[in-house]
Amino acid sequence: MKIRAAVLEEFGAPLVVREVDLAGPEWGEVLVRLHACGVCHTDMYTASGVDPSGYAPTVLGHEGAGVVEAIGEGVSSLKVGDHVVTLFSPQCRECVHCRSEKTNICLSIREQQGKGYLPDGTTRLSRGGEPIRHFMGTSTFAEATVMPEIALAKINPEAPLDRACLFACGLSTGLGAAMNTAKVEEGSTCVVFGAGMVGLGAVAGARLQGAERIVCVDLSADRLELAKGQGATDTLIGGPDAVAQVLEMTGGFGADYTFEATGNVKVMAQAVEAARMGWGLCTVTGVAGKGETLDVIPRWLITGRRVAGSSFGGVKGRDQVPQLIERYLAGEIDVDAFLSHRLTLDEVNKGFDLMHAQDGIRSVIDLT
Ligand SMILES: NC(=O)c1ccc[n+]([C@@H]2O[C@H](COP(=O)([O-])OP(=O)(O)OC[C@H]3O[C@@H](n4cnc5c(N)ncnc54)[C@H](O)[C@@H]3O)[C@@H](O)[C@H]2O)c1
Ligand SMILES: [Zn+2]
Ligand SMILES: [Zn+2]
């Protein structure tokens, strides 16, 4: 079939919205008619050419939601008409990682996905017979996509798809960092560095876990206002004094849980230092620039602080994204506050401009 899609033709140049060919689903694959897709930093990062593992041509986009239009042979967990959220972090339920409670990092299709191929090593996307690669196994800046069944979360059809798509990446990452990775305890004190989609999700996750005090740190007063709406009890303007201020707010000890959601390695170090002596746990979610390293003074660790990293918030996508969506539908998560701009597919590059200008939290592309 012919679909319109936003193609990364050349690094550093705007995406080109054009017609491409999409073949039907093969064994274990599903054709999804996309309804909405969020614009995320990772798309912009890859488009810029800075990511050494990037490839082109490819169809970008990974925060998708839509409706199943066709299924390939062997697909048993999805049927035509099901509403789905796309997962760049799949869940096969069979590999040694999927069978462990300790991680959400499924091993089954990593290698091919990382190279831009579907699990059988080929692509369904093409143009004039030339293959186009699948970005993050999703390629959701498009009217439709073909994805493995194991990379689709079946959600309650009552969830509006323009909100549900935000659970495909940043929001679930933040929520999960607090709920799965850190497992924030009731009555605890949390500090979240960064009030973008991920940090705000972590604030909401800490609130859902029953944290008593949630301090959000950001450079933007507007974003800190949004953090209050998600449950932050205190806010701080970030900078070199942030750790001293956190210590002052916590009787000199630091916080039970800290979260880093900025991608800045200096802030990661602040988040480690601001964790409480004795048992403080720092969860790092930000993606640092190529070659950057985290500078941690060993004494911070010897005196009881711990550091954890979190990919997609430790969320096992097929099991847990539907659960998070249920909590949203029950009124426990305010998703509307994150949806700042609505764009058409043709305006995809404007989504990057808005993100660059830090205008709003998320732009969502309407693909219907
Ligand atoms: N681990 C994962 O699976 C995963 C998933 C999605 C995104 N990410 C990463 O998480 C990070 C956050 O993503 P986002 O979409 O929320 O980004 P964002 O750019 O919208 O938010 C980052 C926030 O950090 C703030 N900030 C910058 N410097 C600061 C400082 N010194 N002190 C305090 N705050 C500061 C900014 O003002 C901004 O509000 C990025 O690095 C992104 O690549 C990771
Ligand atoms: Zn993302
Ligand atoms: Zn697996």
Residue 328 lies in a domain: no
CA–CA dist 277, 206 (Å, integer): 20
* Minimum-distance ligand 1 atom for the alpha carbon of 201: 16
Q: In the chain, how many domains are there?
A: 2
Q: If you take atom 11 of ligand 1, which residue's CA is the nearest one?
A: 286
Same domain, yes or no, for 186 and 297? yes
Asked if 188 and 208 touch (Cβ cutoff 8 Å), the reply is no
Residue with tokens 């069944």: 149
* Minimum-distance ligand 1 atom for the alpha carbon of 195: 39
Same domain, yes or no, for 258 and 297? yes
Residue 14 lies in a domain: yes
- What's the pLDDT tens digit per position in 314-358? 999 999 999 999 999 999 999 999 999 999 999 999 999 999 999
173 lines ligand 1 (CB under 6 A): yes
In this prediction, residue 80 carries a pLDDT of 98
Same domain, yes or no, for 177 and 274? yes
Q: How is residue 46 written in tokens?
A: 């890859």
Residue 329 lies in a domain: no
Same domain, yes or no, for 196 and 151? no
280 lines ligand 1 (CB under 6 A): no
Mean pLDDT of 97-112: 97
Residue 130 lies in a domain: yes
CA–CA dist 158, 328 (Å, integer): 11
- Residue 331 burial class via C-beta count within 10 angstroms: exposed 0-12, middle 13-18, buried 19 and up: exposed
Reported confidence tier of residue 46, pLDDT bands at 50, 70, 90: very high
CA–CA dist 161, 153 (Å, integer): 13
In this prediction, residue 321 carries a pLDDT of 98
- Nearest-ligand number for the alpha carbon of 240: 1
Asked if 163 and 85 touch (Cβ cutoff 8 Å), the reply is no
How is 171-238 classified by DSSP, letter by letter?
HHHHHHIIIIIS-PPTT-EEEEE--SHHHHHHHHHHHHTT-SEEEEEES-HHHHHHHHHHT-SEEEE-
Mean predicted lDDT score pLDDT of the chain:
97
> What CATH number does residue 299 fall under?
3.40.50.720
Same domain, yes or no, for 74 and 40? yes
Residue with tokens 């986009």: 61
In this prediction, residue 53 carries a pLDDT of 86
In this prediction, residue 62 carries a pLDDT of 98
* Minimum-distance ligand 1 atom for the alpha carbon of 200: 16
Reported confidence tier of residue 172, pLDDT bands at 50, 70, 90: very high
**CA 254 vs CA 228, 233, 297, 300, 362: distances in Å:** 20, 16, 16, 11, 31
In this prediction, residue 50 carries a pLDDT of 87
Share of the chain above pLDDT 90, in %: 98
- Is residue 290 scored above 90 in pLDDT? no
- What is the pTM assigned to this prediction? 0.97
236 lines ligand 1 (CB under 6 A): no
- What's the pLDDT tens digit per position in 204-245? 999 999 999 999 999 999 999 999 999 999 999 999 999 999
Same domain, yes or no, for 136 and 185? no
Same domain, yes or no, for 188 and 150? no
- Is residue 289 scored above 90 in pLDDT? no
CA of 199 to the centre of ligand 1 (A): 7
Same domain, yes or no, for 12 and 158? yes
* Strand pairing class (189-193; 257-260): parallel
Strand segments, DSSP code E, in 9-149 are 16-22, 29-38, 58-59, 63-71, 83-86, 125-127, 130-131, 133-134, 144-148
Catalytically annotated residues: 40-42, 62-63, 92, 95, 98, 106, 110, 169, 362
Q: Which of 296, 311, 326 is the last residue of a domain?
A: 311
- Is residue 182 scored above 90 in pLDDT? yes
Residue with tokens 């798809």: 161
Reported confidence tier of residue 367, pLDDT bands at 50, 70, 90: very high
- What's the pLDDT tens digit per position in 51-87? 888 999 999 999 999 999 999 999 999 999 999 999 9
CA of 137 to the centre of ligand 2 (A): 12
- Structural domain of residue 150, as residue ranges? 2-168+335-366
- What's the pLDDT tens digit per position in 26-40? 999 999 999 999 999
Same domain, yes or no, for 77 and 90? yes
Q: How is residue 178 written in tokens?
A: 């607090």
- Is residue 281 scored above 90 in pLDDT? yes
Rounded to the nearest 5°, which phi and psi values hold at 182? -80, -30
Q: If you take atom 32 of ligand 1, which residue's CA is the nearest one?
A: 238
- Nearest-ligand number for the alpha carbon of 63: 2
Same domain, yes or no, for 128 and 277? no
